């Protein structure tokens, strides 16, 4: 196969199509995950469209196929080794980005969930690849499906280099899997990579198996299914053969690789270049539908391009590119397919040694540069019975919004999410907003047409801690809409007492029958930011706007000298953090008390549970620490007696590599760190920590 040493001219668009193909497969298959073919056909018929409403579930959900795929690939950047990243590095990424029993994985227990088993091994100090080895975990556990469902992103960042994709896929897969599961992962990653330069499905299938042993079971599955396809020319008949030869009764555990990989080959072989047909086959077949449809979709998204995802059935518009990606690092928890594709394409160019691409529209947050991209913008429902009536589209590099005829006293809303909202999908959802008080949001707008007295104003919706509802709203200045007018709509993020911004949107109003169509070219964010938690957090397993990696958030004690949020950590180390990788130079402070032996303190430059700087006390001393991929470095230390339940004011000032720590207004220690950006929070280790007056602000 011919490979490309020069940048592919359509690389970014194909990455976007691959991300969409992956996510579409999940959203199609998730509502019927685990069902059998006969039951699907009886209740739904052919699944060639979204069936979430028929199944009574949400469309956009948190799902391990999405979260794992687009999280573990970050090891290629975090490790600093690029193409030299190995299983050990991928294992460290697991420990950095996973919140135990909450995010990304199915936490089914040792020996039941392959990934949970591997995580427990990693936590106990058993490093990858031993953590996922067959020798340690047994064949059945080691050969479940997870290795291939997390792997598509490896192919997206190694365009046209399937040999590199297959090699990296093996390293990533062996954190948790072994044997045939690794071979399945290599096939998928190689096919995604090859799809950048090859669109013929027969050739892609040939390439996929060329990187695994010819006598392995995955290779035999490919040979059998493709041969049966030629004999049968009826995918229902070929499914029966798969069920008999490779079905669940032959390959056990909770979700084995072999049966599901066979269904993927079935869909690819029968559908060829028809995205919708491939999705209908792989979903109607049942078993692990979201996993299978996602892998099928990623390969075909790259090979066929964006048009195949929207014609004849539009798989993209119903979810407006929205993605929920909760991990222990909250920057990208609420994202969209284009923002995610941009990140992957930047990484891919770096790995391939290609020049960096110029930022779209001067680095705008939402730039709408790809066909169909909506950056999560959708019409809001007016109430439970009335959907919003604004029509949104992207006809050519901008977001077009067309209002219906407006009615006096009734408003229309469109919005995009800013922070992940708990609920839906069966996985814990957590994340941090990309907008904080003091920042300014600007929307560059052109009015394409208008009639009557139509008006628009931007708004920010936010979570209200007191009511536990996402119903607080702040508005920018209202503007009248007249055809041909160019507008800059602005809204500043107000002080919210620590409540997170949940969405950004536009409100339309007008006289009876007024109507307008406007075009948003870009959405930008600038300005210095600040954050202050005005009142204790609610006792809640999921605190919106925070990464909650502590055992529990508890109420304060009856004898506390002031209102405190209490964090309890049963064992090991926990962190409660907010902020994003946008935070660079800033200061963070809080009043803290220790209750019971253990450790507590401040965290800064937080990039996950294995990457941060901390100022922590144990009752006897204070240490300025750097935690970086398993390596713990004491940057500085000072004796500092700290009585139980005694409140002290701790502060960290972060400028570049320099960190200065103060206690009760007095500088005590300083040091240098390799971590130059990231959020901030509170640390607690095997004890109870009370805190108040948590503040952070850019410098």
- pLDDT band per the 50, 70, 90 thresholds, residue 141: very high
Q: What would the pLDDT profile of 336-393 be if each residue is shown by its tens digit?
A: 999 999 999 999 999 999 999 999 999 999 999 999 999 999 999 866 556 678 999 9
- How far apart, in whole angstroms, are the C-alpha atoms of residue 649 and residue 694? 10
- How far apart, in whole angstroms, are the C-alpha atoms of residue 301 and residue 312? 15
SS3 label, residue 84? helix
- What pLDDT, on the 0 to 100 scale, is given for residue 96? 97
pLDDT higher than threshold 60 for residue 1: no
Q: For residues 554, 557, 561 and 567, what is the CA-based torsion angle, rounded to 10 degrees?
A: -20
Q: How many CB atoms lie within 10 A of CB 535?
A: 13
Distance between start and end Cα atoms, the chain: 52
- CA distances 142 to 89, 219, 248, 665, Å, are 19, 18, 16, 54
Q: Which two tokens stand for residue 26?
A: 């999940």
Q: What percent of the chain has pLDDT over 90?
A: 87
pLDDT higher than threshold 80 for residue 466: no
Cβ-contact 220, 183 below 8 angstroms: no
- How far apart, in whole angstroms, are the C-alpha atoms of residue 179 and residue 169? 13
Sequence-distant (6+) residues with CB within 8 A of 127 are 88, 91
Q: What would the pLDDT profile of 512-523 be if each residue is shown by its tens digit?
A: 999 999 999 999
- What pLDDT, on the 0 to 100 scale, is given for residue 454? 94
Q: b/e for 632-641, b at 16 or more Cβ within 10 A?
A: eeebbeeebe
- How far apart, in whole angstroms, are the C-alpha atoms of residue 577 and residue 423? 20
- What pLDDT, on the 0 to 100 scale, is given for residue 5? 73
Planar angle of CA 468, 470, 473, nearest 5 degrees: 125
Pairing of strands 573-578, 586-595: unpaired
Domains in the chain, please, with CATH?
Answer: 11-324 (1.10.4080.10), 378-527 (2.60.120.260), 550-698 (2.60.120.560)
- pLDDT band per the 50, 70, 90 thresholds, residue 465: low
- How far apart, in whole angstroms, are the C-alpha atoms of residue 538 and residue 543? 8
Q: b/e for 243-259, b at 16 or more Cβ within 10 A?
A: bebbbbeebebbbbbbb
Planar angle of CA 230, 192, 76, nearest 5 degrees: 150
Q: What is the pTM of this model?
A: 0.95
260 closest CA partner among 235, 282, 237: 282
- How far apart, in whole angstroms, are the C-alpha atoms of residue 623 and residue 619? 11
What is the overall mean pLDDT for the chain?
A: 94
Q: 594 - beta bridge partners? A: 689
Cβ-contact 322, 336 below 8 angstroms: yes
- How far apart, in whole angstroms, are the C-alpha atoms of residue 2 and residue 22? 25
Write down the residue that tokens 């049968």 correspond to.
232
Rounded mean pLDDT, 108-132: 96
Planar angle of CA 378, 519, 386, nearest 5 degrees: 30
Planar angle of CA 233, 234, 237, nearest 5 degrees: 125
Write down the residue that tokens 């007016």 correspond to.
382
- pLDDT band per the 50, 70, 90 thresholds, residue 426: low
Q: What would the pLDDT profile of 551-594 be if each residue is shown by its tens digit?
A: 999 888 989 999 999 999 999 999 999 999 999 999 999 999 99
Cβ-contact 661, 578 below 8 angstroms: no
SS3 label, residue 458? strand
Rounded mean pLDDT, 301-317: 96
Cβ-contact 158, 165 below 8 angstroms: yes
SS3 label, residue 360? helix
**Which helix (DSSP H) or strand (DSSP E) does residue 266 occupy?**
helix 257-271
- How far apart, in whole angstroms, are the C-alpha atoms of residue 392 and residue 320? 9
pLDDT higher than threshold 90 for residue 333: yes
* C-alpha 203: how far from chain center: 32
SS3 label, residue 235? helix
- What pLDDT, on the 0 to 100 scale, is given for residue 381? 80
- How far apart, in whole angstroms, are the C-alpha atoms of residue 16 and residue 302? 8
Q: What would the pLDDT profile of 223-262 be if each residue is shown by its tens digit?
A: 999 999 999 999 999 999 999 999 999 998 989 999 999 9
Planar angle of CA 207, 213, 219, nearest 5 degrees: 65
pLDDT higher than threshold 70 for residue 468: no
């Amino acid at each position: 196969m011919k490979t490309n040493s020069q940048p592919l001219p359509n690389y970014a668009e194909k990455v976007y199509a691959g991300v969409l193909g992956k996510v579409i497969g999940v959203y199609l298959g998730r509502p019927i995950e685990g069902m059998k073919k006969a039951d699907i056909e009886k209740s739904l018929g052919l699944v060639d469209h979204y069936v979430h409403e028929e199944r009574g579930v949400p469309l956009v959900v948190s799902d391990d196929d999405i979260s794992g795929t687009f999280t573990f690939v970050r090891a290629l950047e975090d490790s600093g080794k690029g193409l030299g990243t190995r299983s050990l590095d991928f294992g460290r990424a697991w420990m950095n980005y996973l919140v135990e029993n909450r995010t990304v994985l199915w936490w089914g227990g040792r020996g039941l969930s392959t990934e949970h088993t591997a995580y427990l091994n990693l936590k106990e100090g058993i490093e990858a690849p031993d953590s996922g080895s067959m020798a340690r975990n047994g064949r059945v556990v080691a050969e479940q499906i997870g290795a291939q469902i997390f792997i598509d992103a490896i192919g997206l960042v190694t365009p046209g280099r399937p040999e590199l994709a297959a090699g990296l896929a093996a390293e990533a897969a062996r954190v948790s899997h072994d044997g045939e599961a690794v071979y399945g992962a290599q096939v998928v990653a190689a096919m995604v990579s090859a799809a950048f330069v090859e669109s013929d499905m027969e050739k892609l299938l040939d390439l996929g198996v060329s990187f695994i042993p010819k006598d392995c079971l995955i290779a035999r599955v490919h040979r059998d299914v493709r041969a049966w396809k030629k004999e049968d020319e009826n995918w229902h008949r070929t499914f029966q053969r798969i069920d008999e030869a490779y079905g669940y009764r032959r390959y056990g555990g909770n979700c084995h690789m072999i049966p599901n990989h066979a269904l993927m080959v079935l869909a690819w072989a029968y559908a060829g270049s028809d995205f919708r047909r491939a999705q209908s086959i792989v979903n109607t077949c049942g078993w692990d539908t979201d996993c299978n449809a996602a892998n099928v979709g990623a390969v075909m998204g790259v090979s066929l391009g964006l048009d195949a995802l929207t014609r004849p059935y539009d798989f993209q518009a119903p979810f407006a590119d929205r993605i929920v990606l909760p991990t222990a690092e909250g920057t990208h928890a609420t994202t969209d397919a284009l923002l995610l594709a941009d990140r992957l394409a930047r990484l891919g160019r770096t790995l391939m040694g290609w020049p960096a691409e110029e930022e779209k529209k001067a680095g705008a947050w939402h730039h709408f540069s790809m066909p169909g991209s909506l950056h999560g913008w959708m019409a809001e429902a007016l109430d439970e019975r009335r959907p919003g009536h604004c029509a949104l589209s992207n006809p050519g590099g901008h977001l077009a919004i067309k209002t219906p005829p407006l009615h006096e006293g009734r408003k229309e809303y469109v919005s995009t999410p800013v922070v992940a909202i708990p609920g839906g999908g069966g996985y814990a959802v957590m994340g941090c907003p990309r907008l904080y008080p003091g920042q300014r949001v600007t929307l560059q707008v052109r009015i394409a047409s208008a009639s009557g007295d139509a008006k628009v104003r931007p708004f920010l919706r936010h979570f209200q801690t007191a009511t536990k509802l996402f119903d607080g709203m702040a508005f920018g200045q209202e503007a009248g809409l007249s055809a041909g007018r160019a507008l800059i709509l602005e809204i500043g993020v107000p002080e919210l007492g620590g409540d997170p911004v949940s969405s950004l949107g536009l409100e339309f109003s007008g006289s009876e029958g007024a109507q307008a169509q406007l075009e948003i070219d870009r959405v930008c964010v600038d300005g210095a930011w600040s954050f202050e938690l005005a009142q204790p957090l609610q006792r809640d397993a999921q605190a919106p706007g925070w990464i909650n990696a502590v055992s529990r958030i508890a109420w304060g004690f009856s004898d506390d000298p002031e209102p405190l949020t209490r964090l309890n950590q049963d064992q090991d180390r926990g962190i409660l953090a907010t902020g994003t990788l946008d935070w660079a130079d800033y200061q963070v402070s809080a009043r803290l008390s220790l209750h019971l032996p253990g450790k507590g303190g401040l965290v800064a430059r937080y990039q996950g549970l294995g990457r941060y700087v901390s100022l922590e006390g144990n009752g006897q001393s204070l240490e300025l620490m750097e935690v970086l991929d398993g390596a713990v470095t004491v940057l500085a230390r000072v004796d500092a007696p700290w009585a139980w339940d005694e409140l002290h004011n701790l502060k960290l000032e972060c400028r570049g590599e320099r960190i200065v720590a103060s206690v009760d207004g007095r500088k005590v220690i300083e040091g240098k760190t390799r971590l130059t950006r990231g959020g901030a929070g509170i640390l607690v280790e095997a004890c109870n920590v009370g805190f108040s007056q948590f503040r952070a602000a850019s410098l």
